[in-house]
Structure 1
Amino acid sequence: MAYQLSAVVADSELLRDHTAELDHAVLGELRQDFALLPVTPQLVVELTGSLPDYAVDERSAEQPFGLVLSPPLVEVLDSWSRSGPMAYLEAEFGGGTGYQSAAVWLSGTLSWGPGFDNVLDAPREQWPINAALTRLGVEPGAWIDPFAELGLHLESNTEGWLAHGRRRLSADYWDELVEQWENQ
């Protein structure tokens, strides 16, 4: 099964405050009072006034993201991070291969990353997305790692997260469905 993610993750109130007036912002509720903002081409245009640019080369440590983080987009992330830490997360997997990348902004500047990994043979806490989420303040819990703890596994692509947000679902909603199913 394929997995694709291109999103900003931060405290849900922080993201609500900064996206309330945006037409193309859809927030997906996660656990621990975090939210996910799927980064779509329409959102990039709304935030920056320009079409997004995408890398044509294979992802690497030198080019960790498929979405080119343009100076105007970085300015938005810098600005929003003055209200609290936020991360840009990107992942793509299919057929057993893929990558994940992440970067964290805090106090108006890039504070960590970008981290990139296309092997994922290090301990889970060192994987880029988990490392970024830990820096955001995600607490350990019952799930295997910060990625699963927040519920980032619940949708497999941007369209799924957009539907998740438009339906105002939470990660807990899916847990409740599983519990109901198991009890039947």
Structure 2
Amino acid sequence: MGYVLQCVIAPARVLDPRPPFTNAVVVGLDQGLSLMPMTPDLYDEVSRGDHSFAPAHLFPPGFEDVLSAWSATAPVAYVEAEYFGGSGSQFAAVWQNGALALGPLHLTPNEPRPAPGWSPISHALRHLGASRQNHDDEFDALRLGRHRHTEDWLPPEHQA
């Protein structure tokens, strides 16, 4: 079974209350972080300008300016993961103090799967202050697996 995860992750104080986008949905994670999934409607709402950054599959054109502005008070990450049958890809980038601070980091389907804790998403989560605690990695520590299938947990009014 496969999954796709495409979202912004940041300290709760950055994303709560909800960002000023009609189509934004923010959910709390463990360790004081929050997640905002990149839904098709949110993608359309925040897209602007050219695709000068264009690092990932569902990264909206011009969205790096928003993430840069949000990162003035705390680091902000954009992450993507897509897996099917044990093979997949990951992307992560972190903005801090108004600039790109980490990445973009990529893991392609052709690369060997990294040891737990060495994936692009784990690096980004550590940059946000997450710790793996007694789990294999930060992804598991934040229980991000429960958000792998956005359509399964997103309120119906925010689904495409």
Same fold per superposition (TM over 0.5):
yes
- After superposition, give the CA deviation of every residue in 1:159-182 in whole Å (9 maximum; x if it has no partner): 23424xx8xxxxxxxxxxxxxxxx
Can you give the 5+ residue segments of structure 1 that lack an aligned partner in the other structure? 54-62, 167-184
Structure 2 counterpart of 1:90, one-letter code: E
- After superposition, give the CA deviation of every residue in 1:75-104 in whole Å (9 maximum; x if it has no partner): 111111112101000000012221011000
Q: Which residue of 1 aligns with 2:58?
A: 67
- SS state at 1:154 partner: helix
Counterparts in 2 of 1:35 and 1:161: CA distance versus 1, 3 Å: farther
Q: Distance in 1 between matches of 2:153 and 2:72?
A: 25
Q: Is 1:3 aligned to 2:36, yes or no?
A: no
Q: Distance in 1 between matches of 2:153 and 2:78?
A: 15
Q: Distance in 2 between matches of 1:34 and 1:161?
A: 18
Q: Which residue of 1 aligns with 2:91?
A: 101
Q: Distance in 2 between matches of 1:74 and 1:64?
A: 10
Q: Distance in 2 between matches of 1:94 and 1:156?
A: 12
Q: Which residue of 2 aligns with 1:113?
A: 103
Q: Distance in 2 between matches of 1:34 and 1:103?
A: 16
Q: RMSD between aligned alpha carbons? A: 2.4
- SS state at 2:95 partner: strand
Percent of paired sites with the same residue: 36
Q: Distance in 2 between matches of 1:86 and 1:120?
A: 27
Can you give the 5+ residue segments of structure 2 that lack an aligned partner in the other structure? none
Q: Distance in 2 between matches of 1:69 and 1:47?
A: 7
Counterparts in 2 of 1:161 and 1:107: CA distance versus 1, 3 Å: farther
Q: Is 1:85 aligned to 2:75, yes or no?
A: yes
* Stretch deviating more after TM superposition (38-47 or 28-37): 38-47
Q: Which residue of 1 aligns with 2:128?
A: 136
**Residues 32, 138 of structure 1: 8 Å contact kept:** yes
- SS state at 2:31 partner: coil
Q: Which residue of 1 aligns with 2:27?
A: 28
**Residues 18, 25 of structure 2: 8 Å contact kept:** no
Q: Point out the structure with the larger helix share.
A: 1
> CA shift at 1:27, angstroms?
1.0
**Residues 92, 103 of structure 2: 8 Å contact kept:** yes
Give structure 1 regions of 4+ aligned residues with deviation exceeding 4 angstroms: none
- After superposition, give the CA deviation of every residue in 1:133-159 in whole Å (9 maximum; x if it has no partner): 001100231222100111101132222
> Normalised by the size of structure 1, how large is the TM-score?
0.74
Q: Which residue of 1 aligns with 2:36?
A: 37
